[in-house]
Structure 1
Amino acid sequence: MPDTNIPQILIQPLKPALIAGVGQKLPVLIRVQAPDPVASEKKARRPYHLALVIDRSGSMSGQPLAEAVRCAKHIADQLEPTDVAALVVFDEHVQTLVPARAVGDRTALHLALSRVHSGGTTNLHGGWQAGADELLPDAGQAALARVILLSDGNANVGEITDTDAIATLCAQAAERGVTTSTYGLGRDFNEELMVDMAKRGGGNHYYGDTAADLFEPFAEEFDFISALCARNLRLSLATAPGVTIRLLNDYPVDGDTGIPVIRLPDIAFGAEAWALVELEIPAGLAIDGARQLLQAAVTASTPEGKPLAFADTTLTLPAMPVAAWEALLTDPLVVARQAELAAGKLLEEARAAAEHGDWNTVDRLLAEARQRFADQPWVIEVLQSMAELARSMDTARCRKEALYSSRKMRSRISAKEEALDSLMMEAGAPSFLRRKTAQGKAQFDKPEDSQK
C-alpha cells in the first residue's frame, strides 16, 4: 500500500505486461499525490493575496450583481486579517475600490462591496489588468497570489479585446507569480476567453448558468486554496530508447517530444493530479525479461515557496505470449481515466455540432457515448445531463456546458482513493473533489446557503 503521508508518484499501466515480440501502444496513468491532511493545530502560513475583479456592466444589473457581491463577501469573510485583498470593478471604466492591503477587520471591503452598482459596457481586459497590477509587486511574499475574475459578457471595449492577447497576458502574469481564476455567468459571456485565461493563467475556470449557481464554485475555489499543498508541478517523463510517448490530457507541455515536461494543476492535501500517456513500444523491446520503459520525476513547491520532494518512479514490465497477456485484467482506474478523456473529446465534437445547429448529430453522439461508457457512473451522468440540455436546442448554453464539462474531464484533480462505481461516497469529500454532473449548475449547495 502506498504511504499516504508523503508526496509520491504512482505509475499504472493498462495491463502489467507487454505482448512478446509485437510492436504495441500501452496506455499508462501517472498519478502525482499530495499527502493526506493532518488533523493538528492550525499552523501559521504566508498570506494569500487575492484581487476580486467584478464586472458591473449593465447586463449584470439586479440579481447577477447582487450574487457576485455576495460571493465576494463570502471570500472576504474567509480570509485571515493578515491576508491581502484588493477589489476592482469594471464596466467601460475600471475602478480600484480597495487597493491591495491587509484585510484587517474587513470593514473596508464590506463597505466598498455595498456600494457596487451596475454601469455600462465591458472592459474585461482593463479590469483583469488592474487586479493583476495590484498583486504583482508583492506576489513573491504570498502563499498564493490570484486574480478572481467574474464577468457575464465579452471583452468588447478597452485597449485589448483579442482572446489570445488577453490569455497571453494571463500566462505572463502567472510566470511572475500571479495566477488567474475566471467565473463566467449566464449565456452571453465568451467561454473560450474565460477558459483560456484560466488555463494559461494557472488558475481554475468555472461558470454559473444563473446567478444562483455562482456561490458553489466560489466556495469551491476558496476551499481549494485553503487546502493547497503543492504548486508549480512539473512532471518530467523519460522513456527507454526507441519508445515514444504521447500525452492524452490537455495540459501545457514544455521541452521536446523525447523528454516532455508536463505542467500539472496545483494539488491540495488528500488529492492527486494525473496524466494519461500512451507509450509506443517497438517489437524489439517486447522481448523476454523485464524492461524499464518509463521514468517519472516531479518538481513542485509548497505554498510557502519551499521545494517539495517527490521520489522518482519507474515502470518496468515483462513480456509474455499473447494468450497469457489476454488473460490479464485491465486496471480499472486506467480504464476510467481513458473513458473520461474520450468522453471529453466527444463533448467537444458535440459542441461543434451544436454551434452549427446540427442537433441530430449532437443527439447521436451523446447516445453513442452513453452506450460506450455505460460502466462509468460519473461519465454517464454528465452525458445524460448534457443530453437533457441539448433538448432545449439552446446553442449558447450547450456550448458552455460542453466546453466546461470537457475541460473538467481532461484536467481535473481527483481524490487519491476515488470510488469508481458510485458518486454517493463523495458526500463528505471536500467540495473541490466532488464530481458534478453539470458544471454550470449548483449541485451541492445547501438551501440555507442560497438564502444568506
Structure 2
Amino acid sequence: MPNTLPRILIQPLKPAVIAGITQKLPVLIRVQAPAAAPTESKARKPYHLALVIDRSGSMSGAPLIEAIRCTRHIIEQLEPTDMASLVIFDDRVQTLVAAQPVGDRQALHLALSRVHGGGSTNLYGGWKAGADGLLPAAGQAALTRVILLSDGNANVGEITDATAMATLCAHAAERGVTTSTYGLGSHFNEDLMVEMAKRGGGNHYYGDSASDLFEPFSAEFDFISALCARQVRLSLAAAPQVRIRLLNDYPQRSDTPFPVVHLPDIAFGAEAWALAELELPLALAFDGAGPLLQVAVTASTPEGEPATFADATLTLPAVSMAVWETVPEDALVVTRQSELAAGKLLEQARAAAEYGDWNTVERLLSEARRRFAEQPWVIEVLESMAELAGLMDTARFRKEALYSSRKMSSRISAAEEGSYQGPDTESASASFLRRKTSQGKAQFGKPEDEKE
C-alpha cells in the first residue's frame, strides 16, 4: 500500500548476520516522500528561478533556438507570482530581466526574442549574475534555483577553475540558492557541469544535440512542481565498533560526530536512497547483532517548515553460517548494488577512453554485461554505451559514461518502483523518475502540446 507519511526504510542484503565472524553487511537506506501531494488546496510559496543561457558563438543557430524554446516552456509553467530572471552570457554577461514576478510573462518573452549568438564563454560570470540576483530573497521561496545551460568550457572571466566554481555553488546552496546545469553537445566541460550541480544541490543533465534538450528541461520543471522535501540530510549512527562506509558519491559533512549525508531533494511519490556497508566486529557478531544502525533525517518542505521523518533502527539476529546461506537476498538491495557497481565500471571505461584505449573499454563493458545480466535497465544502458564505444568518439563517450554513472548512483526513484520493463513502460512514469538508457538522448517524445 502506498505510504501516506514521510518515512525511512532500512533494508539489509539479508535479514540476519553470521554469528561468530567479522563481516560486511550491505544496507539500503530509503528516504520516502508520501505517495501524493495533499488533496486540499494550499497556496504554495513562489519559485525563484534564474534562467542563465550561454549565447557564445558555438550556440548560434539550432542550439540557441532550442535553448530559447526550452526556456519559454519553463516560463509558461510558472505562476504569475513566481519570480524569474533572465541572464545571457558569452565573454560579456547581461541581465536581460532582473529577478521579478513573472506576471503576464511578456517581459521575459520579449527579452528572449532579442537573444542572439555571441563570442567566448564566461560561464562563471553568467552563473554568478543569476545567483546574485536570487540571493536577497532566497528565504522567501519554495525553491530558489539557477538553471544554467552551456555548450562550452569556462574559458574567460574572473574564475575558470572547476573546483573553485563548484565550491562557490556549494556556498550559494548553503545560503538557499541551488544550481542545476544543462550541457549541450560534445564540447562542454562535463566534469565542471556535473560538479557544479552536485555541490550546488541541484540536478545535472545534458543533450547530445539541441533537439535532446527539451526532455531534461521538462523533467526538471516537473520535479520542481512535485517537490515534497528539500535540504534532505541523512544522519547515520552505528553501534560501538561498527564502521559505516557510504557507497554512493553524495556530499558528506565531516565536522560532525556521525556521518551526515546530503541527499537529493525528494518529490511526492519518490525516494532518495543510499547504500551503506557496515563492518561488524567479531564480538558483536558472536554475541548477537542487536541494534546495529540508527538513521535520522532532517529536511524542510517547500514552505520552509520542518519535514518530519521518524527515526529508523536496524536490529538483526545472529545466525549460523548454514542458516544464513539459506536466507534469500533482498532483490532491491541487489539491484541498487548492481547499479552502483555498473556505475563504477563506467567510470573506469571513461578513464580508458580518455587515453584512446578502446580495447580496455570493450573489455570492461563486456565484463559488466556478464556481471549484471539479471538487471535489464543496467544492461540496456551498457548496450547503449557499447554502441558509443564502437564509434570511438571520445568526447561523446566521456559524457555519456559520466552522466550514466551519476544517474545510477544518485537517481531519485519511485517509492514503489517496479522492475524495469523497457522504455514503453517507463513513459507512464513521471518524467523525473524515468529510467533512460541514454542520458544525452530524448527517448520519450514531446508532450502533444509541444510537438510542431
Q: Smaller-chain TM-score range? A: over 0.9
Q: Look up the match of 2:426.
A: 426
For residues 102 and 57 of structure 2, what CA distance do their matches in structure 1 show? Answer: 29
Give the alignment's Cα RMSD to 1 decimal. 1.4
Contact (CA 8 Å) 2:86, 2:98: kept in 1 or not? yes
> Counterpart of 2:9 in structure 1: which amino acid?
L
What TM-score do you get using the length of structure 1 for normalisation? 0.98
What TM-score do you get using the length of structure 2 for normalisation? 0.98
Q: Look up the match of 1:103.
A: 102
Q: Look up the match of 1:360.
A: 359
Q: Look up the match of 1:129.
A: 128
**What is the aligned residue count?**
451
C-alpha displacement of 1:239: 0.6
> Counterpart of 1:320 in structure 2: which amino acid?
V
For residues 29 and 303 of structure 1, what CA distance do their matches in structure 2 show? Answer: 26
Q: Look up the match of 2:154.
A: 155
Contact (CA 8 Å) 2:288, 2:318: kept in 1 or not? yes
Gaps of 5+ in 1: none
Q: Look up the match of 2:340.
A: 341
> Counterpart of 1:430 in structure 2: which amino acid?
A
Q: Which residues in structure 2 correspond to 1:397-412 (within 5 Å)?
A: 397-412=396-411
Q: Which residues in structure 2 correspond to 1:46-445 (within 5 Å)?
A: 46-255=45-254, 259-289=258-288, 291-423=290-422, 424-445=424-445
For residues 442 and 450 of structure 2, what CA distance do their matches in structure 1 show? Answer: 10
Gaps of 5+ in 2: none
> Counterpart of 2:133 in structure 1: which amino acid?
E
C-alpha displacement of 1:256: 5.8
C-alpha displacement of 1:158: 0.8
Contact (CA 8 Å) 2:185, 2:210: kept in 1 or not? yes
The more displaced of 83-92 and 37-46 is 37-46
Contact (CA 8 Å) 1:419, 1:425: kept in 2 or not? no
> Counterpart of 1:151 in structure 2: which amino acid?
S
List structure 1 segments (4+ residues) > 6 angstroms apart after TM superposition: none
Contact (CA 8 Å) 2:294, 2:311: kept in 1 or not? yes
Q: Secondary structure at the match of 1:344?
A: helix
For residues 61 and 421 of structure 1, what CA distance do their matches in structure 2 show? Answer: 39
> Counterpart of 1:233 in structure 2: which amino acid?
V
Contact (CA 8 Å) 1:152, 1:189: kept in 2 or not? yes
Deviations 1:54-93 (A, max 9, x none): 0001100000000000000000000000000000001111
C-alpha displacement of 1:170: 0.7
Q: For residues 416 and 115 of structure 1, do their structure 2 counterparts lie closer, same or farther at Cα, with a shift above 3 Å needed?
A: same
C-alpha displacement of 1:428: 1.6
C-alpha displacement of 1:209: 0.1
Contact (CA 8 Å) 2:19, 2:288: kept in 1 or not? no
> Counterpart of 2:29 in structure 1: which amino acid?
I
Q: For residues 10 and 71 of structure 1, do their structure 2 counterparts lie closer, same or farther at Cα, with a shift above 3 Å needed?
A: same
> Counterpart of 1:180 in structure 2: which amino acid?
T
Deviations 1:241-269 (A, max 9, x none): 01101000000111369620111000000
For residues 181 and 212 of structure 1, what CA distance do their matches in structure 2 show? Answer: 19
The more displaced of 439-448 and 374-383 is 439-448
C-alpha displacement of 1:168: 1.0
Q: Secondary structure at the match of 1:287?
A: helix
Contact (CA 8 Å) 1:288, 1:318: kept in 2 or not? no
1:446 equivalenced with 2:440 (yes/no): no
Q: For residues 257 and 84 of structure 1, do their structure 2 counterparts lie closer, same or farther at Cα, with a shift above 3 Å needed?
A: closer
Q: Secondary structure at the match of 1:391?
A: helix
Contact (CA 8 Å) 1:244, 1:258: kept in 2 or not? no
C-alpha displacement of 1:451: 4.1
Deviations 1:145-195 (A, max 9, x none): 000000000110111111111111111111110000000000000001100
Q: For residues 26 and 190 of structure 1, do their structure 2 counterparts lie closer, same or farther at Cα, with a shift above 3 Å needed?
A: same
C-alpha displacement of 1:429: 1.2
C-alpha displacement of 1:39: 6.6
Q: For residues 338 and 52 of structure 1, do their structure 2 counterparts lie closer, same or farther at Cα, with a shift above 3 Å needed?
A: same
C-alpha displacement of 1:287: 2.8
Q: For residues 256 and 166 of structure 1, do their structure 2 counterparts lie closer, same or farther at Cα, with a shift above 3 Å needed?
A: closer
For residues 185 and 302 of structure 2, what CA distance do their matches in structure 1 show? Answer: 33
C-alpha displacement of 1:233: 0.6
For residues 427 and 134 of structure 1, what CA distance do their matches in structure 2 show? Answer: 36
For residues 135 and 256 of structure 1, what CA distance do their matches in structure 2 show? Answer: 28
Contact (CA 8 Å) 1:23, 1:286: kept in 2 or not? yes
Contact (CA 8 Å) 1:333, 1:420: kept in 2 or not? no
Q: Look up the match of 1:31.
A: 30
